[in-house]
Structure 1
Amino acid sequence: MASWGFVKMHGLSNDFVVVDERDHEPFPVGRVPGICDRHRGIGADGVLVLSEPTSPDARARMTVYNADGSLAEMCGNGLRCVARLLASSGALSVETGAGILRCSILGDGEVEVEMGPATIEGGLDSVVKAGGHTLRATRVRTGNPHLVTFDPVDDERAAAIAPILEHAFAGGTNVELAAVEAGGIRLRVWERGVGFTRACGTGACATVAAACASGRARHGETVRVTLAGGDLGIVVPAGGGSIRMRGSAVRVYEGRIDL
């Protein structure tokens, strides 16, 4: 058994346990579900493991594990937290499963991240059928897979269809239930391997990308995405450039755990 230091952080209430395996033995990833258990562990939506990067251009590598222990390609809220942990000001790059991404620590306690481009997979507002439910949705990849729908979905139906839609495609997908409103987009997110979370950075980026592609929002303008945990500012440039995401990252506390 080894003693591990950790930092508890959150981005818009999407919370993480951050551990650093640089100068340490490899992190025991099989312990992730127990760590994330909110009754018997520390409690979190996921664990972020920092390791040595393969590129000299990056400060560290971030590996994301969902609460169920599954590996995620990318996490926008987690990336903001890691950037805030690694630097108090200025800019830095972090290596992720979606590539090397540049982060800027802003003076107002927020972090802006260059998330890379979004890819629309298949048609816009395509008919999706799963578990007896039918809706129109767009598949978007922003480092990890998302299924975005702007169809009206009440809370009861959302609870029924989101876990079904998660498994509607090979490898699973995150599910975004979006509504365009005055001044921005209101968003609920079912994260693959986690369930409903209070915020999802890559999901917000995917949603705005789908909105811009379908004429519901404009390229190059900041779109306010309102989630249960707060707001994110998302800019999707025209021509497939890197999406910019801006939002808070908060260090809650630090401690040690025996694993």
Structure 2
Amino acid sequence: MPDTEFLKDFLDEKADLYNHIDFIENDPIQIPHRFSLKQDIEIAGFLTATISWGTRKSILTDADKILSWMGNSPYDFILNYNEKDIDAFQHSSVHRTFNKEDLENFVKNLNRIYKEHESLENLFLLKEGETNFYHSFHRFRTEFFNNDEQHRSTKHVSSTYKNSSAKRLMMYLRWMVRQDRKGVDFGIWQNIDQKYLSIPLDVHTGNISRKLNIIQRKQNDWKTVEEMDLALRKFDDQDPAKYDFALFGVGIAKEF
């Protein structure tokens, strides 16, 4: 195990280096950064995070397709959605296995939710005693799909109750919750404390974390998210998610 103080200094240095406005240029977070209205940011961010697997170029291209269909006014589009609107989506696919039927169901559910809530934040709030989003993500998933587990689109929202790391949901929460002095994350959700955020765990952040001996588990699942929490919150218990930039950055730079 590396010296704890050395590892903290290393991660702090890399987080500061890569948590920079230039990060936005080639990252999916650039999509919600096109908007200023809170709900536009939420919707653009949620849909972009949902399709955030594969190459970043393809994610950006396909997010553009969705937003163009929405007239680049996602909140207005969602509030006024009509079932005939899906006919105007002229593309044969949306993003890889996320297809036109999935997109339609997501938009219908967002329409229902925004008629009941001012913000998607309300669906992610933690309950008393909760220190991570294990139960919160399950509640969101249940509410978002309106207790319909049969529709094919449910596979695009991970289930922590099935031990998923829920990487894309966690990334979305980092975008919305984290108070970022560097102008990358938005911090527009004021009722969720960033100290409860975790690292969006995937193959890349998992591999780097193992090389740094931050985690020992071999699987990239929710139990490993909790293992990583224990380590990273010792380094910064008020902003542990900032280390996402460090792990992502050293991975991209191929420092290992």
* TM-score for both structures, normalised by structure 2: 0.26
Q: Name the one with the larger strand percent.
A: 1
